Structure formats: structure tokens, C-alpha cells
Copies of this chain bind each other. A is one copy, B any other.
Amino acid sequence: MSDLDRVLAAVDADLDAAIARLFDFLRIPSISTDRAYAAECRRAGQWLVDDLAGLGLTATLNDTPGHPVVTARSEGGAGKRVLFYGHYDVQPVDPLNLWDNPPFEPTLIEGPNGAKRIVARGSSDDKGQVMTFVEACRAYLKVTGALPVDVTFLVEGEEESGSGNLPPFLAANKEGLKADIALVCDTSMWDRQTPAITISLRGLMHDEIVITCANRDLHSGYYGGAAANPLHVLSKIIASVHGADGHIAIPGFYDGVTEPPDAVKAQWASLGLTPESFLGPIGLTTPIGEAGRSLVEMTTSRPTFEVNGMWGGYIGEGGKTVIPSIATAKITCRLVAGQDPIHVRDAVRAFIRAQLPPDAKVEFLSGDGSPAVAVSHDNPNLARAAAALEGEWGTPAVTIGGGGSIPIVGHFKKTLDQDTLLIGFALDDDRIHSPNEKYDLTSFHKGIRSWVRVLAALAD
């Protein structure tokens, strides 16, 4: 029997005890957004420090201006090191009356689909996910006395309240946190059978466009028909951004954008994401992205131009016959790997300036951003982790991008110069942030086994 098989067997044998440990962790109401729970947050952090110290790791509860950060290190001298990130804080529980059981009294019940589930606030987001990794380490250490790769834990207590103290903590502890790759366990499976690795997150460029025409609001009777209206000007500009084929018409906008490997695109196409399944729940039927692109591409590997807010003139009750002086739009562009936020910003601005009619002036009030973060499809750690997950689930792992940004991943890249693989075992029906949050027992059990396999694979 190989070391790996023995460790996996130990995971199976220890499952009840692992559940009991998670329940202890879940009983601590570590709600980070409510100052009344500050002591409970600290207690949750200390619980985790104690548990990790019990494994023989050097574990520390690090004070910050907010809730403390848990760090722990193994020092096996394995040569390779991974940084594991998660969070011990949880969302508030209101409305309490919608919970079938008290949110901090975890229960193991059978769900309507016949699958056993752990129900409690934090069961999925993120204590249950954090403990999959902790239990994997525990099993390895128990069976083999060592970890196949060295591990640094970074588990914060403010993820649900903005992670405000984490970037300075990273900056102040760069050296101690440096690793070969970061692993984040705070995401979902693709579906119940299919594991997923998120390897890219779109970046963001934000700007605010202010168009001014006349030097004051005008009476639309006296000047109407002769005087320029900045809402008309701004509408024409916004209308010109997207062609009928959904392509963004701004020269230079796509500079640097590359295509994912054909194999990856083929995998995305095979996922069967449909307008019905993706857009149906939000009341829509028709993707508006570039013609010929799949929904996965539109939302993860292609950049966007979005007006998030727009206003001008009279927007109160009733009417006012005014030609406004000023019209404003707040825009954001989701960026993909290869795009430079400032280059995109300047392309957008040049495109707008080139379209201004004689009497319209433009000001830009914001104009900053952060690039996309992405692990190369060629990264050997990605292939190792994907193979490990397939070994556990029997289905190839999907390699996807995230449409939005997860700031911590950007900070790992920027501050620690470190790539991240996001691997999680949550499911779409976990009701995170809602009453009756749950984590499937399968997610927990096979999640632990998955990490055992990933840790082994990364050592290669």
C-alpha cells in the first residue's frame, strides 16, 4: 500500500472525528462585521491556532487593527512550499427565523436530494473548506509523520468585512509568507461531479466620464433645437462602444488579449453552459457578448465595457423642461490577461475624445485599475493539481477563469509575486450568506481526500 493510499484510508477512518472537530469550529459565532462578536472572532482564530499547533506546526494568532490573522508553518524541509489561504470569519445570520436549526448549532442531516449535509453558518463559507485542508494535513502527518510539501497557513478573520487589514499584513510579512504556489479554498465545484480549478480572474479598469455642453442648465423651450445636450452626446458615445456583433469598437481595447489553448476552449464548450441555465434565473434569454464566443468566454476570457451608472439633468419626481449642462457615466471594463489597465483607460479616453461634437467637453474623474491575474495554462502545478482532482472525482477537472476579481489573489501576485490556484468543493446550492447554509458531507470528505492527493501531486 502506497503512502498515498494509507493516508486516504486514514482520512476515511477518521471522518467522524473530523466532523466533530469541524462542528466545534462551527459553534463559534465568528461574525466579523459585527463588533459585538469581536471576542468570538478571536476565539475562532485561537481555536484554529490550537488545532494547527496540535499538528506540530508553528502556529500564531497575529493581532491586527481588526480581527487577528492565523498563520502556521510546517518545517519539514520538503523543498517545496505552498501557501494556503482561507478565512475563519462568517456572514451575519439574519433573518434568524428562516433557519431550521440555530445557525451555530451544526447538524448533520439528509437533504431533500438524499445527500447528507452539514448545516450551519460557515459550513461552506469558509470553515468547512478550510478544514478540508487542515484534515488532509492531519492525516498525512499522522500516517507519514511529514507533509509531502511544506505548508504555510494564512487564515484571516475579515474576509466577510472587506479584508481591510490583510494587504498591510502581507506587505509586513512578505518573507515569511513566500511560497511556490498559493492555494485558495473558497470556491465551488463546476457541478456535483466535476471539480474545478480557477486559474484566472478578470481585472478592472474604472473611470468616470463627465460631458459638459452649455455653461448652465438651459430652458428647453428657448434653446431647444439649437443647443447641444450632453445626455445626447454621452448616449451617442456609449452607443458606439459595442458593434452589432458585440465586439468593442474602441481602437486598441483588445491589445494584448490572447486566446486560451484550443484544448481549454474545447473543454469550456463541452461544459454545456446554456443561456437557459446561466441567464434564465436572472430573467434573460440572450447573451450579448461577441458573436461566436461561448458564455464561458464572454464572462471569463473576454474583456467587457460596462456602464455601471449614468445620470444627468432632472431625475426627480415629475418633469422639468431642462437641457442639462452635464451628463456623467461611471464605467468599468473587466480586463483579461495581457491587458494593461492604463493602456485600456487611455484607449477608452481617446475613443471618447475623438467623438466629441464641437460644443462638448469631457473630463475624466477616476481612471485607474488592476490587471487580470492568471496562472499560465502551462504551469506544471496546474497539471499536477488537475490530475490529482481527476484521481479523486473520476472526472477531469475543469480549468476556468473567474469573471470577477478576488482581491486576495491580486495581492498574492502583487505583494508576494506568487501565482494562485483556487480549488474549492462548495456547490451552487450551498446557500452561502443565506439561512440554512450547508456543506455536503461529500464536499467535506472528498474535499479532504482531494487535498491529500493534491499535496502528494505537488511534491512531484
Question: A residues touching B (Cβ–Cβ < 8 Å)?
Answer: 202, 204, 206, 208, 213-216, 218-229, 231-232, 234-236, 238-242, 278-279, 282-289, 295, 298-299, 302-304, 306-316, 319-324, 327-330, 332, 334, 357-359, 366, 402-405
Contacts and interface: CB of A to CB of B under 8 A. Distances in A.
Q: Which 4 A-B pairs rank lowest in CB-CB distance, beginning with the nearest? A: A221-B404, A215-B283, A309-B313, A239-B239
A35 to B, nearest CB: 23
A402 to B, nearest CB: 7
A278 B322 CA distance: 17
Contacts of A226: 278-279, 287-289, 295, 298-299
26 contacts: A214-B282, A221-B402, A222-B403, A225-B298, A225-B304, A225-B334, A226-B289, A226-B298, A228-B284, A229-B288, A231-B310, A232-B307, A239-B239, A239-B240, A284-B359, A286-B357, A306-B323, A308-B319, A308-B323, A309-B312, A309-B315, A310-B310, A311-B311, A315-B328, A319-B332, A320-B330
Given A220-B306, A286-B359, A287-B226, A319 B313 contact: no
A238 B231 contact: yes
The count of identical subunits is 2
A324 B308 contact: yes
Contacts of A229: 288, 306-307
Given A288-B357, A315-B309, A404 B219 contact: yes
A148 to B, nearest CB: 34
A330 B320 CA distance: 9
